[in-house]
Chain A
Amino acid sequence: MTPRHHLDEATVVSYATGALSPEMAAVAATHLELCHHCRAVLASAERVGGALLGQQKPRPVDVDRERRLRDAMAERLDATPARGGFVRDAPDLPADPDGLPKPLHAYFGRSWRALKWRWMGPGVEMIRAARTSGDTLILLRIGPGKGMPVHGHGSTELTHILRGAYEDELGHFSAGDVADLGPDVTHRPVTSPGGPCICVAALDAPLRFPGWFARAVQPLVGL
């Protein structure tokens, strides 16, 4: 799976600095896990962080305090043997076919099969994460040929496609792609033929539906 739609560089910088909300970060991390291109951008963004860290100019210090901290550090080093090798998780195990991406576990559990979808309308199902920091995080499953009504965004919508594909004014988005949409975008995603499109989306403001019908259903959908 080689993604063709990537994170905005400005979003990657925010991820690298720790400024994304946990929900936005979870969607970004889901994409980063399988996107070599965006991981390379992230590595650059973290290098900038490293350079800035090295550039910090500490003020002249309280010598006694520094000495005490250093002694405490040395003691902890003696008490803590360095590990012989580097432990990396997930060595060469094949991926669990029922496993949701790790960054989403805290919100939706670990298993695809255990997901409890909620019917929202013909061909549209949703699960909304309960415990969030304030942003909205949803899983959406939209049947083939079905779509969301035309909508704009109060601010930012970050959507990663987990399965299936959809089309909108911006192009064709399939599994592995991410749509990093700012406040200026209005679109009407429609699922491509074949199977349902399942995606995870983080929103930092309510969606705006311009039509009267869509506005009428908005409170029901809860977005």
Chain B
Amino acid sequence: MSEDARYWSWQMTAVARTGDREGFLRIYDHFAPRVRLYLKGLGSPEAVAEELTQEAFLRLWQNAAGFDAARGSVSTWLFRIARNLHIDRIRREPEWYLMPEDQPEEREGYGTSAESHADCVDLGARIESLPAVQGRLIRMSYFEAKSHQEIADELGMPLGTVKSYLRRAFLKLQSRMQDSV
């Protein structure tokens, strides 16, 4: 994973500098099936997930020149784009505010260049090592976009407990991100 993230950052930087179409398609080949799977997990039918994935990569391509590896990884940027496409798709009012999806302006996060370093230590493995309940709540939040209340209803847990488990899980991931820089 660490080498992986480093490689894709390098590839995306090359695309950003030269507009290299073949390089971009390598990024597409790797990530498109993952983005599709994520969108399907959020409830999109296959055809919609395919369409939104194509749209996500078109946005990534159009804004590629703005990529800065120090401000975030390719997968985080794709996550933001795909999430917004999903939200935009399911909501009723087009004017409702949509969160920003560019890479953050500042190098935000705890510590310096948190992302590139944090990516190098395997965040994925750290998610794996969370206690079972916390890991489950993190997955339900991210992969199913479930609200605290929905999680509480589904697992028969008090709302306050859901929040405190999620908070604890997230702080654990975050403190380890800090440790890693």
Q: Which residues of A contact B (CB under 8 A)?
A: 8-10, 12-22, 25-26, 29, 36, 39-58, 61, 66, 69-70, 72-74, 76-78, 80, 82-86, 88, 102-106, 131, 133, 155-156, 182-184, 204
Contact = CB atoms under 8 A, between A and B. Distances in A.
B148 to A, nearest CB: 6
Given A29-B97, A72-B54, A103-B97, 7 more contacts: A13-B141, A14-B147, A18-B86, A49-B142, A51-B76, A73-B57, A85-B65
Interface residues of B, number: 85
B38 A70 contact: no
Nearest to A49: B79
A112 B93 CA distance: 22
B37 A58 contact: yes
17 contacts: A9-B166, A10-B166, A10-B167, A18-B42, A19-B147, A22-B91, A26-B97, A44-B174, A51-B123, A52-B142, A73-B54, A74-B25, A80-B62, A105-B97, A133-B93, A156-B149, A183-B159
* Chain B interface helix/strand/loop/mixed: helix
Nearest to B76: A50
A168 B160 CA distance: 21
Interface of B: 1, 4-5, 19, 21, 24-25, 28-29, 31-38, 42, 50, 54, 57-58, 61-66, 72-73, 75-80, 82-84, 86-87, 91-93, 95-97, 99, 102, 104-106, 108-110, 114-115, 118-119, 123-124, 127, 138-139, 141-143, 145-150, 159-160, 162-164, 166-167, 170-171, 173-174, 177
Contacts of B119: 47, 51
Nearest to A40: B108
Contacts of A13: 138, 141, 166, 170
Contact of B115 (A47, A56, A133): A47
A135 to B, nearest CB: 11
A137 to B, nearest CB: 11
For the complex of A and B, the 3 pairs showing the least CB-CB separation, nearest first, are A50-B76, A86-B66, A58-B33
Nearest to B83: A18
* Chain A interface helix/strand/loop/mixed: helix
B79 A53 contact: yes
Nearest to B5: A54
A47 B163 contact: no
A74 B79 CA distance: 21
Nearest to B173: A48
